[in-house]
Amino acid sequence: MHQNLISKIFIKKQLLIILTKSNVGYQELNHDNTKKSIKKLIKIYANTNSLSDFDQINELKILTDRNFKLPTKSAKKKKFFLELSKGEFKNTCKNELLYQGFEDLRAVIKGTKVC
């Protein structure tokens, strides 16, 4: 439920550090009930997986990630053009109608035939 608020999680010695994306996430995760439920989940996981690093955790610390930046819209721009074809492809169609259709398409792409 709180996964969208978390930027990074790491373990340092016996301390589990959770970095949140914003101050709102910090306030939400730093609440006593939330901290207790996270500690309970860690204990349950550590009991079932005894060789994990989580069985050594004694303390939980929640901080805000000041270096976290939300992705901008310009980073998600898509290409508005397609790569042009050179008409170089293998025509393996056994049907004569399809074979001729692809050959006509090849001629149009290369510019030797007008539609």
Q: What pLDDT is attached to residue 97?
A: 93
Q: Which helix (H) or strand (E) holds 17?
A: strand 15-20
pTM value is: 0.56
Strand partners, 7: none
User: For the chain, which residues score pLDDT lower than 70?
Assistant: 68-83, 115
b/e sequence 22-61, b meaning 16+ C-beta within 10 Å = eeebbeebbeeeeeeebeeebeeebeeeeeeebeebeebe
Question: What CA–CA distance (Å, rounded) separates 15 from 12?
Answer: 5
Question: What CA–CA distance (Å, rounded) separates 27 from 2?
Answer: 12
Q: What pLDDT is attached to residue 95?
A: 92
